[in-house]
Amino acid sequence: MKNVILLGITSLLTDMSSEMIYPILGLYLAYLNTPFTIIGVIEGIAESISNLLKVFSGQFSDKFKKRKPFVIFGYSFSTIGKIFLYFSKNWPFVLISRIVDRFGKGVRTAPRDALISESTEDAKKGKIFGLHRSMDTFGAMLGVIVVYFLFLYNPEEIPFKKVFLLSILPAFLGVLILFFVKEKKKETLSFEKKISLKFYDFKYIPFVAKKYIFISVIFALGNSSNQFLLIRAKNLGINYLTTILLYLIYNLSYTLFSYPAGFIGDKIGKKTVITVGYFIYSLVYLFFAFMKTTDFIWVLFVIYGIYIALVEGQEKAFLSEISPSEYKATILGLHYTLVGFMLFPASLIAGLLWDKIGPSATFLFGSIMSFLSSILMIILI
């Protein structure tokens, strides 16, 4: 349990750091007169690198029977990325910052989740992953609060650099905490005998895991960037500071419901919780597709936070349960990679639908894909 708490604190601090930056990064790039096409390219490259690395870091973590070194290395790189952002003066520096930051995330994610899984018993995995997500998202909420007040009390000067500099501190503290994590000793294999699950070698993956990964990929195709929700809020007449508050409400909802979602998942089954989460996402996007006023927008962001709480932590716990221990990090990494690869086409499709037809088409597409995924969970899993 000590490892779970320490890793949770690291995630809290790191997400606090990252979420101080996320709501204002697009504004900062616009401040630098960056073309919107370049902004899309920056995010596409960064997320592609992150998700490509997840499966390989998981594989190497399983192969060398080590988790902690990969976790420390990954979190350290994310901290270095924020330092690059502080010194940035144009969009190429921002691109470098995002690449370095996402490289770190790609390296650390699968080994960290495997380390969490190995630090608790199966009967409590859903609860533990829910606790970790709660701490992670509480940090995100704190980050959004900090950036909101920095902007609120600097009306004459946009404090980008102050935010970037301040974001380095919690990220650095998060790395320091990792050195107190204790990794369980595992059987050491000779290099020739080390297990190596290739990206294309599916024979070791349980059939139920294959089916779930397939369904989550379909869901991901309709799961476009959260930026579209924020843009939709602005499109409906919400000002920028209020949009940041909406993002805060989403994070607060996510934080409050992540741990209860894990508890419920352990009681009634993680598959059921994930299926309900997909259905909630479908309803939220359906409302965003056809809403004309902002009357219920606060409620929708709360419900959207509940969807994230139900799905994100529980899918990790579900995959951890159905994966063999010697391939756990690899399968988690494969899932992250395949789902992550879909984020780029998902956002591209969302943008094209918005430009060619309108925002309703963007959210209707997401709603349909999510509803289809919930039906497939009931039929196939």
Q: Where are the alpha helices (DSSP H) in 32-67?
A: 36-63
Residue 296 burial (10 A CB sphere; 0-12, 13-18, 19+): exposed
Please, are residues 241 and 152 in contact by the beta-carbon 8 Å criterion? yes
The list of the chain residues with pLDDT below 70 reads 36-37, 39-40, 44, 54-55, 121-123, 154-157, 185-204
Question: What's residue 188's pLDDT?
Answer: 47
For residue range 12-30, list pLDDT tens digits in order: 999 999 989 887 887 787 7
Domain membership flag for residue 142: yes
Rounded CA-CA distance 371/219 in Å is 8
Q: Which residues contact 34 (CB under 8 A, 6 or more apart)?
A: 91, 94
Q: Check which CATH number belongs to the domain holding 158 and give it.
A: 1.20.1250.20
Is the residue at 192 inside a domain?
A: no
* pLDDT score of 52: 73
Within-domain flag for 198: no
Q: What share of the chain is helix, strand, coil (3-state, %, to 5)?
A: 80, 0, 20
Give the single-character DSSP code of 69: H
- CB proximity list for 316: less than 8 A, separation 6 or greater: 113, 117, 129, 332
Q: For position 123, what pLDDT does the model report?
A: 60
**Can you give the residue range of the structural domain that contains 92?**
2-180+205-380
pLDDT of residue 196: 44
> Which residue's entry shows tokens 């970037």?
164
Q: Quick check: is 343 in a domain?
A: yes
- Asked if 38 contacts 94 with a C-beta cutoff of 8 angstroms, the reply is no
**Domain contains 187:** no
Per-residue pLDDT at 306: 94
Q: Tell me what pLDDT residue 199 has.
A: 47
Half-sphere exposure of 214 (CA within 13 A, CB side): 12
Global pTM? 0.74
Position 189 in a domain: no
Note whether 68 and 6 are within 8 A (CB). no
279 token code pair: 């259905």
Half-sphere exposure of 342 (CA within 13 A, CB side): 19
Q: What is the pLDDT of residue 155?
A: 56
CA 301/CA 294 separation, integer angstroms: 11
218, 341 Cβ separation under 8 angstroms: no
In 3-state terms, what secondary structure has residue 372?
A: helix
Alpha carbon distance 255, 143 (integer Å)? 13
Closest CA to 236 of 315, 306, 308, 298: 298
> What is the tens place of the pLDDT at every residue in 222-240?
988 787 887 788 778 887 7
Whether 190 maps to a domain, the answer reads: no
Domains identified in the chain, total number: 1
Say what the pLDDT of residue 157 is: 65
pLDDT tens for 239-295 read: 777 878 898 898 888 878 877 888 888 888 889 999 999 999 999 999 999 998 888
- The structure tokens listed for 370 are 């999510």
